[in-house]
Amino acid sequence: MSETFQLREFEPKGSHHIFLDTNVLLYAFAPLAEYKVDIQEQITKFFEVCKSVNANLYVTSLVLSEVSNVVIRDDFQAWKIKPENARKDKFKDHYRQTENYKEIIDFLNSVNKNIIKLASPFPDDFQLLDLDKIGKMCYNGDFNDCYFLEIAARKKWMIFTRDNDLIHHPLREVPVITNLKY
């Protein structure tokens, strides 16, 4: 396992290449993280410092997909527990037809544009990744986490995350930056 850096002690440099994991983007850009403002502030300050020193930040389409799916799923859960939606529990049949859904999609379109202003979109070069290696890594984590670890290892990037599965993955070959206590 590679190094783990505490966010408060890490100084980004222009030579750094950092992959942004979904969870840090959710804290910075999504409404469901509002209850932990101190964490949001730590993450957004880190992003500001990275930009000021021209550190290279990256995301993939899979990260944007995960951000969108988490926000939509969270909004759907909140929507369906409202008394007026008591019998409307089907995502595709009931929720997708609502103004609420349209509003969350508009919000996510804005979020995705802001993420792309922060981080360079990276084509994941799926055809070059070692799927056997990712498959072996999946014994200790979910597919997306292992996929991100393999992309970062191939490119020699660091990962900024709040995901304990990534931080403690026994086959992790890249440094991680986190504001979790470990």
Mean pLDDT, the chain, rounded, equals: 93
- Residue indicated by tokens 């990712």: 134
pLDDT in tens, 97-120: 999 999 999 999 999 999 999 999
Residue 52 half-sphere exposure toward CB, CA atoms < 13 A:
8
Question: Between residues 126 and 47, which one has the greater pLDDT?
Answer: 47
pLDDT in tens, 23-51: 999 999 986 656 688 899 999 999 999 99
User: pTM of the full predicted structure?
Assistant: 0.93
Q: How many residues does the chain have?
A: 182
Q: What is the Cα–Cα distance from 141 to 122, expressed in whole angstroms?
A: 22
Q: What is the Cα–Cα distance from 27 to 25, expressed in whole angstroms?
A: 5
Topology of 4-67+117-178 in CATH? Rossmann fold (3.40.50)
- Beta bridge pairs of residue 4: 176
Is it the case that residue 176 has pLDDT exceeding 60?
yes
pLDDT in tens, 57-106: 999 999 999 999 999 999 999 999 999 988 888 888 899 999 999 999 99
Percent of the chain with pLDDT over 90: 81
Q: What is the Cα–Cα distance from 100 to 77, expressed in whole angstroms?
A: 12
Q: Where do the structural domains in the chain lie, given as residue ranges?
A: 4-67+117-178
